[in-house]
Amino acid sequence: MKGTYTAVVTPFNDDGKIDFDSLGNLLEKQKNAGITGIIAAGTTGEAATLTIEEKVQLFSFTKQVCPDMEIVAGTGTNNTIDSVKQTEAALNIGIKKVLVVTPYYNKPSCRGLYRHYSEIARTGAKIILYNVPGRTGLNVDPECLARLADIENIVAVKEASGDMKRLAEYIHLVGNKRFDFLSGDDFTVVPFISLGGKGVISVFTNILPELGVAMTNAALEGNFTKAAEIQISITALNYAMFLESNPLPVKTSLSMMKMCRDNFRAPLDKMEEENIAKLSETLRNYNLI
Residues that are catalytic: 130, 158
- Asked if 131 and 141 touch (Cβ cutoff 8 Å), the reply is no
Q: In residues, how long is the chain?
A: 289
Q: Across-strand partners of 43?
A: none
Planar angle of CA 88, 92, 97, nearest 5 degrees:
65
Helix (H, G, I), strand (E, B) or coil at 19: coil
Q: Across-strand partners of 127?
A: 98, 154
Quick one: which of 244, 130, 159, 184 has its CA closest to 6? 184
Query: 221, exposed or middle or buried, with CB in 10 Å at 0-12, 13-18, 19+?
Result: exposed
- Asked if 75 and 105 touch (Cβ cutoff 8 Å), the reply is no
- Asked if 71 and 37 touch (Cβ cutoff 8 Å), the reply is yes
Pairing of strands 70-74, 3-7: unpaired
